[in-house]
């Protein structure tokens, strides 16, 4: 009787080892793959990897310097990463982002530097224009990050288990 119990215990342990599940960022890839209509496990891993990138970009974005010269470069770097890795049509996206920055800068330049009743002296209007422009770019990048996160979660609910 003990031998039969021992043999059953060994078989059960062997079965569990052979049936080990792939856990990726706390998400059971095997369970997700078999219970939903994913075309491959690699597709599931890709979504998780993109979400990991998104979280890294958000962290980098939140740690951008507050110095005007540094923050502009930091925002551009984050925008390039997001538009390149989380959106389609990389070149078009980057081109449109640069056009957006130029238009915003020109419009805030007009607002801050060309009002006939408040003609600023020196570089006051330029500083105000840069500050306003960066605030708008910051909001736009945060919108890109938030939009990507929202769409990833609506694409698949598996990310709720992400760690």
**Whole-prediction pTM value?**
0.79
Residues facing residue 27 across a β-bridge = 24
**Cα–Cα distance, 56 to 48 (Å, whole number):** 12
pLDDT higher for 162 or 42? Answer: 42
* Residue 31, C-beta contacts closer than 8 angstroms, at least 6 positions apart: 21
Q: How many CA atoms lie within 13 A of 46 on its CB side?
A: 9
pLDDT higher for 11 or 61? Answer: 61
Question: Is residue 17 scored above 50 in pLDDT?
Answer: no
The whole-number pLDDT of residue 14 equals 52
The whole-number pLDDT of residue 3 equals 65
User: What stretches of the chain adopt beta strand conformation (E)?
Assistant: 23-24, 27-28
Within 10 Å of residue 39's Cβ, how many Cβ atoms? 8
Closest to 86 (Cα-Cα) out of 143, 24, 42, 5: 143
H and E: helices and strands count for the chain: 6, 2
Question: What pLDDT digit, counting tens, does each position of 57-76 carry?
Answer: 999 999 998 776 789 999 99
Question: Tokens standing for 90?
Answer: 């990389």
CB 75, CB 99: distance < 8 Å: no
State the pLDDT confidence band at 16, using cuts at 50, 70 and 90.
very low
pLDDT higher for 6 or 40? Answer: 40
Question: Is residue 18 scored above 80 in pLDDT?
Answer: no
Task: Give me the residue label for tokens 């500083």.
Answer: 127
């Amino acid at each position: 009787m003990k031998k039969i119990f021992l043999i059953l215990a060994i078989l059960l342990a062997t079965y569990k080892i052979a049936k080990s599940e792939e856990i990726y960022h706390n998400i059971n890839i095997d369970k997700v793959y078999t219970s939903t209509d994913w075309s491959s496990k690699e597709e599931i891993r890709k979504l998780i990897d993109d979400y990991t990138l998104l979280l890294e970009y958000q962290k980098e974005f939140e740690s951008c310097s507050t110095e005007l010269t540094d923050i502009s470069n930091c925002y551009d770097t984050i925008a390039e990463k997001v538009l390149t890795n989380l959106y389609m049509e990389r070149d078009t996206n980057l081109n449109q982002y640069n056009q957006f920055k130029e238009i915003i800068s020109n419009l805030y330049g007009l607002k801050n530097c060309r009002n006939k009743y408040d003609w600023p002296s020196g570089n006051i209007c330029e500083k105000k224009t840069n500050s306003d422009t960066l605030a708008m770019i910051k909001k736009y990048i945060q919108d890109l990050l938030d939009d990507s996160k929202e769409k990833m979660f609506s694409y698949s609910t598996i990310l709720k288990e992400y760690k």
